[in-house]
C-alpha cells in the first residue's frame, strides 16, 4: 500500500493564516487544479479535500513522497514548500487510510461528531470523479471511508445533538450576550454553514435575521427558508450600524469586510458592542477589525475552546468510534493485500483449467460416449478441479493478514505448480 500518500494540514497543525493560503475557495478552483494535475502529473489518482478546517491531498503514485506532494501544492497554490512544511503532515499506506477513516468519522474535526465532514468528503470525491482523477484504488478507499463514517454515527453516540461549527458559533454569541431574543443578526453568505447558523440563531429566539449574498437569488432562497429578510449584498456595510451580530461565511478569496467599514458604522452605534463571527477560510473579515473598541471579532480558530467543551462530553463515544475505525482499517488493509494474491490465484486456475481440458480430451478420445454422457464427465472434472483448488485459494486469501506471508506463499505456490513464467 506504499503507493497511497496523504499530505495535509488542519486546525490542529496550522493556524488560520497558513490554512487560508492553501484553501480552494470554490469548486471552480478545485476543478482547475485537478484538471492541471490530470494533464501533466506523475500522480495516477488524486482527490483534494478543502474545508474551513483542513486542506488534504490524497494521491496514488509509484513515486509517492512528501517532496512530490509538496511540489503539487506549490504548483497549485503558489506557496513555497518551506513556508508550509512545518505545519503539514505526510502519511503513507495504512497510516493514510487510517487518517481518512478518522476524518470521515469526524474524530479529527474541530467539533467532534459534526455531520458536515462526510458531505464535504463526498463532494471532494465527486468533483475528482468528474475530472477523471479517481481510479480503482481511491474509488475503493473513499467508498469505504463513507461506509466507516456512517457506521461510526450509527453505532456510537458521537453524533448525538447534531453539533457543528455553526452551532458552536451561535453558542459563543449566546455566552457573550446571554439572551439573543432581541438581537439583530446579519448573515453574509448562503451556504450550508450560514443556513445552519441561521437556524441555530432562530432556535435561540433571534427574531430578526438579514441575509446578504453576492448572488441575489441564493440569498433570497436562504432568507425564505429561515424566515429572514434578504438585503442586497452592496448594502451590508450600511446595515452594520443596525446589527448586533454579523456572521460571515462566503467563498471569497479576499476579505469582504474591512476595518474602515466597521469603524464608520461604530459612529452610529452609540457604544453598542458589535459581535462578528468569521467562519470563512480564507477569512472574510480583515483581522485588524479586532483592534476597534466595542468590536469582538472571532474567526474559525477562536471557536476551538467552545468546541473543546463539547468534545469532552463525547470522549467515551470517541473511544468506541476509534475502535470501529481500527477494525475497518484492518479490513481494508487485508483487502488490499489480497490484491497481490489475485494474479497467483488467476494463474493457478488457468493452469488447472488447461490441464483439465488436456486430460479430458485425451480420455474422451478413448471412450464411446454420447453428448449427454460427455457433459456429465465434463461437469465431474470441473467439480474435482474446483474442490482441489478451493483449499489452496482459501489458504492464500487468509495470508492477506500479513504482507510478508502474502509474498512468501504466493511465490511458493508459483514454484510448486510451475507458474513462475506465466
CATH (domain of 196)? 3.40.50.720
Residue 422 has pLDDT above 60, yes or no: no
E strand or H helix that includes residue 239: helix 236-239
Residue 381's pLDDT band (cuts 50, 70, 90) = very high
388 versus 315: which is more confidently predicted? 388
Q: What is the pLDDT of residue 401?
A: 67
Please state the three-class secondary structure of 108-165 as a single string: CCCCCCCCHHHHHHHHHHHHHHHCCCCCHHHHHHHHHHHHHHHHHHHHCCCCCCCCCH
Residue 398, φ and ψ in degrees, nearest 5: -70, -25
Whether residues 86 and 13 fall in one domain = yes
DSSP three-state, residue 57: strand
Look at residue 403 in the predicted model and tell me its pLDDT.
67
| Residue 139 belongs to some domain of the structure | yes
Which pLDDT score, from 0 to 100, does residue 8 have?
A: 97
Tell me, yes or no, whether 393 and 341 share the same domain: yes
**44: its cell numbers:** 495516477
Same domain, 130 and 210: no
CATH code of residue 22: 3.30.460.30
Domain check: are 303 and 259 in the same one?
yes
- 59 within a domain of the structure (yes/no): yes
- What digits encode the pLDDT tens for the residues 64-95? 999 999 999 999 999 999 999 999 999 999 99
Instruction: Name the 3-class secondary structure at 185.
Output: strand
**Could you count the other beta carbons within 10 Å of the beta carbon of residue 365?**
7
For residues 145 and 193, state if they share a domain.
no
Residue-wise pLDDT for 102-113, tens only, equals: 999 999 999 888
Residue 233 lies in a domain: yes
- Flag whether pLDDT at 223 surpasses 90: yes
Together in a domain, 116 and 257: no
Active-site residues, by number, are: 52
Mean pLDDT (the chain) is: 91
Asked if 26 and 120 sit in the same domain, the reply is: yes
Same domain, 94 and 185: no
> Considering all CA atoms of the chain, what is the largest pairwise distance in Å, rounded to the nearest integer?
110
> Using CA atoms, how far apart are residues 377 and 271, in angstroms rounded to an integer?
97
Residue 325 lies in a domain: no
Residues 281 and 359 in one domain: no
- 151 and 8 in a common domain: yes
The answer to the question of residue 316 being in a domain is no
Q: Is residue 319 part of a domain?
A: no
75-89, 121-135, 136-150, 301-315: segment of lowest average pLDDT = 301-315
Rounded to the nearest 10 degrees, the angle between the axes of helix 315-365 and helix 304-312 is 70
pLDDT category of residue 60 using cuts at 50, 70 and 90: very high
| Shared domain check, 337 and 293 | no
189 and 288 belong to one structural domain: yes
Domain contains 322: no
pTM of the entire predicted model: 0.81
Task: Confirm whether 321 is domain-assigned.
Answer: no
Is residue 371 predicted with pLDDT exceeding 60? yes
The residue segments making up the domain with residue 352 are 331-416
Cα(317)–Cα(321) distance, rounded to whole angstroms? 6
Residue range 143-196, pLDDT digits in tens: 999 999 999 999 998 877 657 889 889 988 988 888 898 899 999 999 999 999
Domain count, the chain: 3
Amino acid at each position: 500500500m506504499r503507493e497511497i500518500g496523504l499530505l495535509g494540514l488542519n486546525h490542529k497543525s496550522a493556524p488560520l493564516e497558513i490554512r487560508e493560503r492553501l484553501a480552494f475557495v470554490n469548486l471552480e478552483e478545485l476543478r482547475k487544479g485537478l484538471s492541471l494535475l490530470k494533464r501533466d502529473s506523475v500522480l495516477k489518482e488524486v482527490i483534494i479535500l478543502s474545508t474551513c478546517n483542513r486542506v488534504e491531498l490524497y494521491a496514488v503514485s509509484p513515486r509517492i513522497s512528501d517532496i512530490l506532494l509538496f511540489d503539487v501544492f506549490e504548483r497549485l497554490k503558489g506557496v513555497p514548500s518551506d513556508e508550509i512544511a512545518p505545519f503539514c503532515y505526510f502519511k503513507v499506506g495504512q497510516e493514510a487510510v487510517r487518517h481518512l477513516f478518522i476524518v470521515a468519522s469526524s474524530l479529527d474535526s474541530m467539533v467532534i461528531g459534526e455531520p458536515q465532514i462526510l458531505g464535504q468528503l463526498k463532494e471532494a470525491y465527486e468533483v475528482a470523479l468528474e475530472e477523471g482523477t479517481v481510479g480503482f484504488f481511491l474509488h475503493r478507499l473513499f467508498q469505504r471511508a463513507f461506509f466507516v463514517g456512517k457506521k461510526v454515527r450509527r453505532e456510537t453516540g458521537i453524533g448525538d445533538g447534531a453539533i457543528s461549527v455553526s452551532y458552536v458559533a451561535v453558542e459563543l454569541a449566546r455566552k457573550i450576550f446571554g439572551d439573543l431574543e432581541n438581537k439583530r443578526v446579519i448573515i453574509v453568505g448562503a451556504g450550508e454553514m450560514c443556513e445552519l447558523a441561521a437556524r441555530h440563531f432562530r432556535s435561540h429566539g433571534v427574531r430578526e435575521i438579514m441575509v446578504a449574498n453576492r448572488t441575489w437569488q441564493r440569498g433570497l432562497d436562504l432568507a425564505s427558508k429561515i424566515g429572514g429578510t434578504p438585503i442586497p449584498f452592496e448594502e451590508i456595510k450600511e446595515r452594520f450600524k443596525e446589527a448586533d451580530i454579523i456572521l460571515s461565511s462566503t467563498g471569497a478569496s479576499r476579505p469582504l469586510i474591512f476595518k474602515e467599514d466597521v469603524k464608520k458604522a461604530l459612529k452610529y452605534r452609540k457604544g453598542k458592542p458589535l459581535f462578528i463571527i468569521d467562519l470563512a477560510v480564507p477569512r472574510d473579515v480583515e483581522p485588524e477589525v479586532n483592534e476597534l473598541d466595542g468590536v469582538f471579532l472571532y474567526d474559525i480558530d477562536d471557536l476551538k475552546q467552545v468546541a473543546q467543551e463539547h468534545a469532552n462530553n463525547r470522549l467515551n463515544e470517541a473511544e468506541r468510534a476509534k475502535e470501529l475505525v481500527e477494525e475497518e482499517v484492518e479490513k481494508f488493509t487485508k483487502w488490499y493485500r489480497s490484491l497481490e494474491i489475485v494474479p497467483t490465484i488467476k494463474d493457478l486456475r488457468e493452469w488447472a483449467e488447461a490441464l483439465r481440458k488436456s486430460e479430458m480430451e485425451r480420455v474422451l478420445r478413448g471412450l464411446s460416449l454420447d453428448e449427454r454422457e460427455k457433459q456429465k464427465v465434463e461437469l465431474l472434472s470441473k467439480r474435482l478441479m474446483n474442490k482441489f483448488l478451493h483449499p489452496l485459494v482459501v489458504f492464500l486469501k487468509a495470508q492477506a493478514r500479513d504482507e510478508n506471508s502474502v509474498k512468501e506463499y504466493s511465490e511458493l505456490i508459483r514454484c510448486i505448480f510451475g507458474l513462475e513464467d506465466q
